[in-house]
Amino acid sequence: MSTTDRLTGRLNNDAVLIVGVVLALYALFVVFGVLIGLDADGIVSTLRRLTFLTAVYALLALALNLQWGYTGLFNIGVAGFMAVGAYTMAMLTAPVDPGAGGVPGLGLPLWVGIVGGMVAAGLVGGLTALPALRLRADYLAIVTLALSEIIRLTYNSTTFQRFSVAGAELGTGGASGIPGPVNPVSTVYYTDPASPASPPTALGGAIFDFFGGFGLENTTVIGWTYTLVLVVFVGLFYFLLTRVGNSPFGRVLKAIREDELVASSLGKNTQWFKIKTFVLGCALMGLAGILWQGSQSLITPALFLPIVTFYVFVALIIGGSGSNTGSVIGGGLFAGLLFLGPTFVGRIVDASFDLGGAPSTFTDAAATLGSLDAAPLLAYSLDRVSTLRFVLLGIVLVYLMQRRPEGLLGYRKEPAAAVDLSRRDAPEGGGGPAATDGGERR
């Protein structure tokens, strides 16, 4: 089997695997939608939300996989680097004159904002890495977690709500946040991208009419368009990081994860490799932050709580740290089964059975248990299903750590090399180098 055959073979298998998982999740959520009694538009927008969350968690898990899965850098400040990316983008692109109560920015074009956001996240990552990567793994974790909170609280602070640098007015908006830029996807649909009330463009009108025929709302169509952009970015991240992994560079990263002293004793400047990897991973997290929270109408500090970092770790652990395909699948399974799933199950039970009004306290809920009536307790639990999600997360993690600590795909042998190592080009024993060595065999 030639090199390309093997590589494309694996890529095809992985593509089939990812598509299979996504289709299975779609099937599940279509069933959920039907059980709840959603109409066509409701089901399609449910699938959109599922795809959106899968994509953003896949992006973040891929970036984290480079740092943690490949290099063993325990970065638990993912949310902080996302915040730097999203905020920098918003501050660079916000209008210079926002009107009353608005947050002023530099009014730069969107692409400058996106590149600026990535660079800023990478720089903050680099600045953290310089001192922190000299420390042992657990200390890096503490430093990054602290940093991510410092970043969030800085954006939350009133001090930076509005400030001026070299005569230019800008601000973070403080706790009330800063508006995200107009989603460029809307330019396809509306003559005035900022206002959905404006008449649709010719192309936009045609697309609206076509999908409207299936009962889809315009907002669902626009939402799906942006979600597809995210899916393209997942593909780009995957491609980039697979290349990084399957190269001599990736090989050194793996060696650092396994035993840093060995790598440096073989002449590798491990500090430099770690810094580069950390900066690249943080820049990608910044971009993921832009694509996710930057696409919301309002970017607030509360979107970047440490829980987001925790979710990304769960996604990566489920998928299998060290595997890019695993990262994407982990993103899907986390978003579908652990994040959205419980709320949908709650809604289905709520829609199928009449449990009566949910009691407001646990004591009330448990009171009827004496008379063997569990309905109030069930209603109480369903009412708080998003809190129960953490219980589910905990159970899944404990089970996984016991039964399959390497995650779904973490066991896979993905040799870090740019070529297929098991293959040899030179003819065996046909003169040249191989022959002399062969001659030494006893």
Partner 1 sequence: MSESTEASAAESDTPATEDDAATAAPDTRSAIEGKGPATVGEIDPEAESDVERAARETPPGRPLRVDDLRKEFGGLTAVDGASFDVEEGSLTGLIGPNGAGKSTTFNCITGVHTPTSGSVHLYNEEITGLRPHEIADRGLVRTFQIARELGDMTVLENMLLAPKAQRGEALWRSVLPGARQSVRAQERELRERAWETLEFFEIDHLAEEYAGNLSGGQRKLLEMARALLTDPEVVLLDEPLAGVNPTLEEKLLDRIHELRKQGYTFLLVEHDMDVIMDNCERIIVMHRGRVLADDAPAAIKENEEVIEAYLGANV
Binding site for partner 1 (CB under 8 A): 240, 243-244, 247-252, 254-255, 257-259, 261-270, 273, 276, 280, 413, 415-419, 421-426, 433-434, 436-441
Based on CB atoms, which residue is closest to partner 1, 403 or 424? 424
Contact 323, 412 (CB under 8 A): yes
In this structure, the dihedral spanned by the alpha carbons of residues 207, 209, 211 and 216, taken in order and rounded to 10 degrees, is 120
Based on CB atoms, which residue is closest to partner 1, 101 or 439? 439
Determine the residue type at 118: M
Q: Smallest gap, in angstroms, from Cβ of residue 273 to partner 1?
A: 8
Based on CB atoms, which residue is closest to partner 1, 172 or 277? 277
Quick one: how far is CA 338 from the chain centroid? Answer: 15
Based on CB atoms, which residue is closest to partner 1, 86 or 408? 408
Q: Smallest gap, in angstroms, from Cβ of residue 282 to partner 1?
A: 14
Based on CB atoms, which residue is closest to partner 1, 97 or 437? 437
Based on CB atoms, which residue is closest to partner 1, 47 or 255? 255
Q: Which residue has the tokens 């997360």?
A: 393
Q: Smallest gap, in angstroms, from Cβ of residue 235 to partner 1?
A: 15
Q: Which residue has the tokens 């074009």?
A: 109
Determine the residue type at 132: A
Q: Smallest gap, in angstroms, from Cβ of residue 422 to partner 1?
A: 6
Contact 81, 124 (CB under 8 A): yes
Q: Smallest gap, in angstroms, from Cβ of residue 70 to partner 1?
A: 11
Based on CB atoms, which residue is closest to partner 1, 45 or 242? 242
Q: Please state, as a whole number, how many other Cβ atoms lie within 10 Å of the Cβ of residue 410.
A: 20
Q: Smallest gap, in angstroms, from Cβ of residue 433 to partner 1?
A: 5
Handedness of CA 83, 85, 88, 94 (dihedral sign): negative
Q: Smallest gap, in angstroms, from Cβ of residue 429 to partner 1?
A: 11
165 forms bridges with which residues in the sheet? 168
In the structure encoding, which two tokens stand for residue 367, read together?
């009171």
Helix (H, G, I), strand (E, B), or coil: what is residue 200?
strand
How far apart CA 300 and CA 83 sit, in angstroms, is 9
Based on CB atoms, which residue is closest to partner 1, 167 or 439? 439
Length of the chain: 442
Q: Smallest gap, in angstroms, from Cβ of residue 71 to partner 1?
A: 12
Q: Which helix (H) or strand (E) holds 165?
A: strand 163-165
How far apart CA 97 and CA 141 sit, in angstroms, is 40
Q: Which helix (H) or strand (E) holds 19?
A: helix 3-36
In this structure, the dihedral spanned by the alpha carbons of residues 227, 229, 230 and 236, taken in order and rounded to 10 degrees, is 160
Q: Smallest gap, in angstroms, from Cβ of residue 77 to partner 1?
A: 22
Contact 108, 41 (CB under 8 A): no
298 forms bridges with which residues in the sheet? 179
Q: Smallest gap, in angstroms, from Cβ of residue 413 to partner 1?
A: 7
Based on CB atoms, which residue is closest to partner 1, 243 or 384? 243
Contact 355, 384 (CB under 8 A): no
Based on CB atoms, which residue is closest to partner 1, 197 or 261? 261
Based on CB atoms, which residue is closest to partner 1, 294 or 319? 319
Q: Smallest gap, in angstroms, from Cβ of residue 244 to partner 1?
A: 6
Cβ burial, residue 88 (10 Å; 0-12/13-18/19+): buried
Q: Please state, as a whole number, how many other Cβ atoms lie within 10 Å of the Cβ of residue 435.
A: 13
Helix (H, G, I), strand (E, B), or coil: what is residue 441?
coil
